[in-house]
Amino acid sequence: MTTGLGDSPARTSYRHGDLRRALIDAGVDLAQEGGPAAVVLREATRRAGVAPSAAYRHFADRQALLDAVCSSCQALVARAIEADQAGIRSTDAAEAARLRFRAVGTGYLRFALEQPGQFQTAFSASSDLDSATSSARAGDSGLTPFQLLTVALDDLVAQGLLAAERRPAAEFLAWSAVHGLAELFIDGPLRALPDPVKQTLIARVINMVEQGL
């Protein structure tokens, strides 16, 4: 056996081991550095140490690679939300549900500010409601960002913090507000705002959602 498999540092000649994974990882790096437009097929193959055409053994075209990178980035968003939720310490079940709901927003927006390129990539490409629940986009809990929001809203209803008749489509209202703020932060007019002001806006948007749902 001439080559180990899955070894990133050592270059193996010819057979790569797991080129598909390597291309997606390179794509995620590119997305981090420059957003979806920077996910360039040739550069990904360069970083994986293979010829450009090799990518076509694993992806139909550049868009297919970008879709896969997009899914990976959504999984990172899910992880960021889970991280914020994991920090919650509360004995009161109702209060805990409320904090878990808010953590969906804070985690989402924290990730958008910390990794704007990956965030933009996560929501750049084709994603209908079906693929929003694909497992490739899930975090450690096995849930996608969208599903984490849905669960948090269900919990609000279960704890009596949200009237059942206001529950339908509430995920879209909450998502709109939080996602819109992220867009304004990343390449919208709020880009240059100092960080404390951004934090204040984040809290106020989440307040608006809580009161307005």
Partner DNA sequence: GCTCACATGTGTACGATGTACACATACCAG
Partner DNA sequence: CTGGTATGTGTACATCGTACACATGTGAGC
> Which is nearer to a second copy, 12 or 131 (by Cβ)?
131
Site string for a second copy, 118-157 (x = CB under 8 A): -----xxxxxxx-xx-------------x-----------
In the complex, least distance from residue 122 CB atom to DNA, rounded to whole angstroms: 19
N- to C-terminal Cα distance for the chain?
Answer: 61
Q: Does 33 bind DNA (CB under 7 A)?
A: no
> Which is nearer to a second copy, 90 or 200 (by Cβ)?
200
Which residues fall within 8 angstroms of residue 185, CB to CB, at 6 or more apart?
109, 112, 113, 116, 191, 193, 198
Q: Does 43 bind DNA (CB under 7 A)?
A: yes
CA distance 27 to 70: 9
Nearest to 88 by CA among 72, 99, 73, 74: 99
CB 3 within 8 A of CB 13: yes
- What distance lies between CA 192 and its chain's CA centroid? 23
Upper half-sphere CA count for residue 68 (Cβ side, 13 Å): 19
Q: Does 21 bind DNA (CB under 7 A)?
A: no
Site string for a second copy, 166-205 (x = CB under 8 A): ---x--xx-xxxxxxxxxx--xxxxxx-------xx--xx
Q: Can you give the binding site for a second copy, defined by CB under 8 A? A: 123-129, 131-132, 146, 169, 172-173, 175-184, 187-192, 200-201, 204-205, 207-213
Q: Can you give the binding site for DNA, defined by CB under 7 A? A: 1-3, 13-17, 19, 40-43, 50-58, 61-63
